[in-house]
Amino acid sequence: MKNTNYLIIGSGVAGLTLALRLATQFPGKNITIVTKSNADESNTKYAQGGIAIVIDKNEDSYQKHISDTLICGDGLCDEAVVKMVITEGPKRLKELIEWGAKFDKNPDGNLNLGKEGGHSENRVVHHKDQTGYEIERAILMQTLQKENIIVLDHHFAVDLITEENCCLGITILDEKTKQLQTYKSDFTILATGGIGHLYGHTTNPVIATGDGIAMACRAGATIKEMEFIQFHPTAFYEASTGSKFLISEAVRGFGAYLRTKQGHRFMKDYDSRQELASRDIVSQSIDLELKKSGDDYVYLDCTHLDPEAFKKHFPMIYRHCLTAGIDIAKDWIPVVPAQHYLCGGIVVDTNGRTSVTNLFACGECSQTGLHGANRLASNSLLEALVYSGRIYEYLANPDLEIKTADSKISEKEKVNKPEIDSEYLAELKTKLQYLMRQNAGIVRSDIDLQNAKEQLLKWKNEMEQIERTQQVFVSYYELLNMITIGSLIVSQSLERQENRGGFVKLKMPSFV
């Protein structure tokens, strides 16, 4: 068994900034970061748009940002949380800049602020179309310079160790040696990101399998509002399944139009904001258009835009399109909605505390009350930064007492069993992803959801039987977590009786 003072699961913006703050404040204490891939692989890395922060108070205001967030959340935001996060934003941006993150500026030397769907003013701070990548680069560089931070890459967090509703540590699988290890910690923080790979068609990387939420659920933590899943309206369409390349919302903010194959600008039929309506509206509108036409995708038209300005603002998107044979100056971009963000998750208070003592959560895996029924564009990095800071301030309190349980943590003994069939797991994962897209996607019905619930229970029982008789590794644990997450989404979708924000449930099955 190994000991650490602070155990952080996940290496995105939430986990890394918390580790950096703790390491600076407590040079004599150990901070351990556990990540199942490389240290720089996270949902943060793929965030293109930016961070929504009120900078220009002549044109913008905190109240405008608060209002936009509340409107997007469709009546389910916690207004006090919204106010707290938005007013703390400038302070967190200042820290990022001090840590070396660079953001685009206009010719006057001021931050170049973008505008995205649902925002009433230009307030999105960005680094071209690679904002998340730039933030990850800057804070990871700072993190690796701290001697009291240990990064365990290619280590998979299997389960939390709890007693009397108190988190004592975690069981970790070393992916290289395939050995289970036990880590005891004073405090454990889940910063594990989202669930995208559960749907297969997603803008998330393949590591996004909902591990933190599933572990917290098994530990008895409160999980809420899993039914509110944001589908990004404009992922680049490719016939193959898997992670989709995101065509940032900022492209529509830049002036791009959505069109059917016939060229009709259909968003005019659905919302007065047209292409700049919130993501739930745009995704549902595209979904309806595709069901009416039978097409596989719609188009994003950038041909009327200045191509040089487009290349300057969106170099990564431009290169991706060009590689796929699409010249944005004369060709329309095929796009389709894809799972993008989870608005619910592990319930936390304003200090990031879960319902389990000594267990914290921040970032996409948490449910703070900020997003409500639908997240406002570019509020995700903002939330992660603010709650990372809130957890740090809580843990840095000199009067903070550490609650511990009396029992000793026992190591898991290795039992020799035949290795699991990897092909079986791959086939089951494909079936699971298809089930979630069909039965718990953009538009749902109770009949579809009930069928999914029964199937998920069967798969869960199968998986538990497998673990009793076979040697299991990361692919098994990920799939088990995905089934757990699927069950949470389906059960909470069945419970919700009213349509709000990104949640739409019809009385008839989705295939009718």
Tokens (6 digits) for 287 = 């979904």
- What would the mean pLDDT of 369-393 be, rounded to a whole number? 95
Within this chain, do residues 183 and 76 fall inside the same structural domain, yes or no?
yes
Sheet of strand 223-224: strand arrangement: 223-224, 345-347, 366-367
Please state the domain count of the chain. 3
Q: What is the DSSP letter of 202?
A: B
Is pLDDT at 428 greater than 50 in this prediction? yes
pLDDT, mean of residues 154-159: 96
- The answer on 20 and 83 residing in a single domain is yes
Query: When comparing pLDDT for 28 and 46, which is higher?
Result: 28
158, 160, 163, 164: CA torsion to nearest 10: -140
Q: Residue 241 is part of a domain; what is its CATH number? A: 3.90.700.10
409 inside domain: no
Out of 339, 362, 382, a domain closes at 339
Confidence at residue 474, expressed as pLDDT on a 0 to 100 scale:
93
Confidence category of residue 506, pLDDT binned at 50, 70, 90: confident
Active site residue 279: yes
Q: Sort 87 into a burial class: Cβ within 10 Å, 0-12 / 13-18 / 19+.
A: middle
- Please report which confidence band the pLDDT of residue 56 belongs to, taking 50, 70 and 90 as the band edges: confident
Flag whether 122 is in a domain: yes
Q: What is the mean pLDDT of residues 103-132?
A: 89
The whole-angstrom separation of Cα 266 and Cα 284 is 12
* Domain membership flag for residue 411: no
**Closest C-alpha among 407, 12, 24, 379 to residue 189:** 12
SS3 content of the chain, % helix, strand, coil (to 5): 40, 20, 40
Judge whether residue 387 has pLDDT over 90: yes
134-143, 236-245, 467-476, 482-491: least confident range? 236-245
Domain boundary among 312, 339, 366: 339
Domain with residue 501: its CATH number is 1.20.58.100
* 10 and 150 together in one domain: yes
The whole-number average pLDDT for the span 414-422 is: 77
Of 404 and 377, more confident? 377
In the set 279, 353, 390, 444, the catalytic residue is 279
CA 137/CA 142 separation, integer angstroms: 9
The verdict on 294 and 373 lying in the same domain is: no
Do the beta carbons of residue 299 and residue 332 sit within 8 Å? yes
Q: Residue 257 is part of which domain span?
A: 235-339
Tell me what pLDDT residue 117 has: 80
Pair (257, 360) in one structural domain = no
Predicted local distance difference test score (pLDDT) of residue 42: 55
- Print the SS3 string covering 302-327: CCCCCHHHHHHHCHHHHHHHHHCCCC
Handedness of CA 384, 385, 388, 389 (dihedral sign): negative
In a domain, 404, yes or no: no
CA angle centred on 411, ends 409 and 417, rounded to 5°: 145
Q: Does residue 219 sit in the same domain as residue 240?
A: no
Q: How many Å from the N-terminal Cα to the C-terminal Cα in the chain? A: 55
In a domain, 428, yes or no: yes
* Domain limit, last residue, from 360, 395, 430: 395
22 shares a domain with 153 = yes
Tell me: do 115 and 200 sit in the same domain.
Answer: yes
